A and B are shown apart, each in its own frame.
Chain A
Amino acid sequence: MAIPKSHPVKPSIPLKYPKTLLPRREEIKDMITKDGTYLPKSLLHADLDKGFLEFVKEKFKIVSEGKNIPVVDIIITTQNWSQFVETWDFQNIDKNIEPPFLTIIRNPEVKYGNNPAVMYNIPNRRMYYYMEVPTWDGNRKGADIYKIPQPVPADFRYSVAIVCNRMREVNTLNQRVLETFASRQAYQVINGHYIPIINDGFTDESSMDLEKRKYYIQKYDFTMMGFLIDENEFEVFPAISRTFQVFEVDTKTPKRKQKRQQPTEPEKIIFDYPNSATTKQLHFDYTCNLYFEDSVNVTSYSVYINTNYYGDDVTTIQVNTGDDIRIDIVIGIYNTEPKLTFSQKLL
């Protein structure tokens, strides 16, 4: 049974909870532009290699016999090893690197990536709106439009090899790898971008020749599902800061059908007879009925429609469109101006 540790299990309690869901996504988005411009930082082969190197140093830190097992802090290529060992600080008298140590080998070929988040692209690498950044040139406010192309997915394959003499060191690295990749993937933040890494398994290449120097070599294979962003492809251009609107109109007068005029005749139709006149004629452009209302200083009157006699002292006159109504009167005995008043009803 393990002995309880002297220090408390949880030495400090966090004052605020870590962000989740949308706030966490926003936090990750802010990581991309932290300590830089509004644009995301470039992410190219060397950046990803460096990121993986840091990942191994951080996650696969192994202590054996009280000493850290060193990690060769460069990615081994076919060219640099010979020169590098000249300055290596844990080489032996033969200038050979002395086990135990960890080293990282990158497969030279980098294939098109399988990261489903970025592998399905719109063709032709069109530029996408990324951000609108406000500007001020001393006189007026404006904005810059930042556009970037969609990142290109790329799979980087690495092998992390441990070369050592003791099984305990092999066990420790194996434990670290299995713990780190318990859910198959791990993540590394490289230039603010979250990059997934998956474990593809491992192989044993231990040297077990009877009459040779014996050591363990175990290689763990990883795939970094990265993507490439080249800042040289970014576009920044000024947005619209002032608009001038022009409307073009047709100078030709449109031909419109004249609206039919609604009758605006007064409700009362008055036949007045100034200067001792005894006849008056009105033209009607509509159809209506005239109803006798009142008469002033008129003894009797005769109605003619289109010169045709209609009747005397009629109280209702039926008028058709285009009719001329003439009313002759016999003036009364009074000295006032004679007048006949009819009310009309449109039909």
Chain B
Amino acid sequence: MRSNVPITRLGKFFGDRDFELEIGLGQEWLIGDMNFTCVLYKIDRNKIKTDDVYGEVIEDGIKFLPPVEFNAQITVAAPENKMIGTTKMDQFEPGNITISVYLKTLEDLGIDIDFGDYVGYYDSENFVRYYTVVNDGRVVSDTKHTYKGFKPFFKTIIAAPVGPNEFRGI
């Protein structure tokens, strides 16, 4: 049975109502002012078509639940000019995307983001780049992800770009 223990840290000058107020203000800024959005393509792990031996997805075998748009703070890393291994073939690879999202946003939308899910982020009106989640930020116990140590309030998700042969969205 899950127990509910009140958090009394910082109790003299900070409490649940303050926490909710701060989160509300932050969401107002992030959603109302910034309005950065991503689309989550959550993998349907029951319908996905995979290889029996390796569990790798076969061509066009990725099945996902209905896409959900959500607001988050987005940071796209600079592209990296590097060689593929030691093949002397240089690639100008796009950088990872770092998504910082309020836990309350995810809760309100009824979604969660896991390893392997895909995220679409529109670079422009007619081009969306897809990323696969390589770090779903499921552990939010660190102080950085708490509000002044009071309670966790957001998670940081890191996703790496994928090519069209792996995922092409809808």
C-alpha gap A103/B84 in the complex (Å): 11
Q: Contact: B56 with A166, CB < 8 Å?
A: yes
The main secondary structure of chain A at its interface with chain B is loop
Q: Contact: A163 with B161, CB < 8 Å?
A: no
Which B residues, 45 to 96, have Cβ-Cβ distances below 8 Å to chain A?
51, 54, 56, 58-59, 84-94, 96
Interface segment among A21-29, A46-54, A89-97, A330-338: the answer is A89-97
Q: Of the candidates B58, B59, B88, which one forms a contact with A78 in the assembled complex, judged by CB atoms under 8 Å apart?
A: B88
B contact residues around A76 at 8 Å (CB)? 87-89
Q: Does B135 contact A (CB under 8 A)?
A: yes
Q: Does A30 contact B (CB under 8 A)?
A: no
C-alpha gap A167/B164 in the complex (Å): 18
Q: Contact: A161 with B59, CB < 8 Å?
A: no
Q: Does B23 contact A (CB under 8 A)?
A: no
Q: Number of residues in A with C-beta < 8 Å to the partner? A: 36
Q: Contact: A65 with B87, CB < 8 Å?
A: no
C-alpha gap A93/B165 in the complex (Å): 12
Query: In the complex, what's the smallest C-beta–C-beta distance from A171 to chain B, in angstroms?
Result: 9
Chain A, residues 82-108, CB within 8 Å of chain B (1/0): the string is 100000000011111111100101000
Query: In the complex, what's the smallest C-beta–C-beta distance from A84 to chain B, in angstroms?
Result: 10
Which A residues, 173 to 218, have Cβ-Cβ distances below 8 Å to chain B?
205, 207, 210-215, 217
Chain A, residues 212-255, CB within 8 Å of chain B (1/0): the string is 11110101000000000000000000000000000000000000
C-alpha gap A97/B87 in the complex (Å): 13
A contact residues around B94 at 8 Å (CB)? 94
In the complex formed, the residue of B with least CB distance to A164 is B165
C-alpha gap A298/B148 in the complex (Å): 179
Q: Contact: A217 with B127, CB < 8 Å?
A: no
17 sample A-B contacts, Cβ–Cβ < 8 Å, listed by A number? A77-B88, A81-B88, A93-B127, A96-B92, A105-B88, A161-B84, A161-B85, A163-B85, A165-B166, A166-B54, A167-B51, A168-B54, A168-B56, A210-B135, A212-B160, A213-B160, A219-B86
A contact residues around B160 at 8 Å (CB)? 211-214
In the complex formed, the residue of B with least CB distance to A95 is B92
Q: Contact: A66 with B59, CB < 8 Å?
A: yes
> Number of contacts between A and B (CB, 8 Å)?
83
Query: In the complex, what's the smallest C-beta–C-beta distance from B166 to chain A, in angstroms?
Result: 6
In the complex formed, the residue of B with least CB distance to A67 is B59
Which A residues, 95 to 127, have Cβ-Cβ distances below 8 Å to chain B?
95-100, 103, 105
Q: Contact: B135 with A213, CB < 8 Å?
A: no
C-alpha gap A92/B94 in the complex (Å): 12
C-alpha gap A167/B55 in the complex (Å): 10
Interface residues on B, range: 20 to 34
B contact residues around A207 at 8 Å (CB)? 84-85
Residues of B within 8 A of A (CB): 51, 54, 56, 58-59, 84-94, 96, 127, 134-135, 158, 160-166
In the complex formed, the residue of A with least CB distance to B80 is A212
C-alpha gap A219/B84 in the complex (Å): 12
B contact residues around A167 at 8 Å (CB)? 51, 54, 56
C-alpha gap A93/B94 in the complex (Å): 11
Q: Contact: B135 with A97, CB < 8 Å?
A: no
Query: In the complex, what's the smallest C-beta–C-beta distance from B164 to chain A, in angstroms?
Result: 6
Which A residues, 14 to 73, have Cβ-Cβ distances below 8 Å to chain B?
65-66, 72
B contact residues around A165 at 8 Å (CB)? 56, 165-166
In the complex formed, the residue of B with least CB distance to A162 is B87
Query: In the complex, what's the smallest C-beta–C-beta distance from A249 to chain B, in angstroms?
Result: 76
A65-B59, A66-B59, A212-B160 known; A96 vs B88 contact (CB < 8 Å)? no
Query: In the complex, what's the smallest C-beta–C-beta distance from B28 to chain A, in angstroms?
Result: 31
Q: Contact: B93 with A213, CB < 8 Å?
A: yes
C-alpha gap A101/B164 in the complex (Å): 14
Q: Contact: B87 with A212, CB < 8 Å?
A: no
Q: Contact: B87 with A94, CB < 8 Å?
A: no
C-alpha gap A161/B135 in the complex (Å): 29
